[in-house]
Amino acid sequence: MSKPKAKGRFIALEGGEGAGKSTQARMLAQTLQSRGLEVDVTREPGGTPGAEAIRALLLNPPEGTAWGPNAEALLFAAARSDHVAQRIRPALDKGIWVVCDRFVDSSRAYQGGAGGLGDEAITSLHAFGSAALRPDLTILLTVDEFATARRLRERDGGETDAIGGRSAVYHASVASAFRALADADSNGFAVIDGEGAPEDVHNRVLEAIDNRLRDQAE
């Protein structure tokens, strides 16, 4: 009788704007694939047709409008619910490793922390919409504000979306909220210095994953 396929593992990359999450997600997937693992790289908000439609509404609201904190949190939760049901859980059940650029801790830091809604509101939405799914490991990439500003200029060329374009005070509050979440859950988070060459950051990410998920990652 063949051995049942092991359940996949779920890794989320978190951090503020310009932290390098998308680059590190791609690099991580390539390395895991080279180890013989099947990997699905996805993102939030997005990852499914429905969630991508909500992403467009969130990042580019109808002209002359802006989402309030409550509506914004509800839209993120709705996108995540579809993403989890249609893509993340099915992949994990098939033994696929899921690498996600942002997950619920972004909502906790942005809407819950910087947006002032509080953590209970966000986690309650997540419990209802996504059965409180948590990553096996959350990688928090940290970058100082000067490096962030440089990276955003290089990435966006002076243009930004409705969330990325918010004030420096708002984004500082996001960074502070992320660190508080990581400090409160040292088993669930690995805090990684996001400064330096992408290859150096990637090596730090791999070390954290190998230390935390050693038996599955090898």
Q: Domain limits of the chain?
A: 10-217
pLDDT at 164: 77
pLDDT at 200: 97
CATH architecture of 10-217: 3-Layer(aba) Sandwich (3.40)
pLDDT at 158: 56
Report CA torsion sign: 100, 101, 105, 108: negative
pLDDT at 18: 84
Amino acid at 80: R
pTM metric for this prediction: 0.89
**122 or 69: which leads in pLDDT:** 122
pLDDT at 167: 83
What is the per-residue burial (b if ≥16 Cβ within 10 Å, else e) of 17-38? Answer: bbbbbebbbebbbebbeeeebe
Question: Of 18-27, 55-64, 129-138, where does mean pLDDT reach its minimum?
Answer: 55-64
Give 187-218 pLDDT, tens digit per residue: 999 999 999 999 999 999 999 999 988 655 44
What's the full length of the chain, in residues? 218
Instruction: Name residue, tokens 């002032």.
Output: 116
Beta carbons of 9 and 38 less than 8 angstroms apart: no
**50 or 156: which leads in pLDDT:** 50
**149 or 76: which leads in pLDDT:** 76
pLDDT at 44: 98
Burial class (CB in 10 A: 0-12, 13-18, 19+), 147: middle
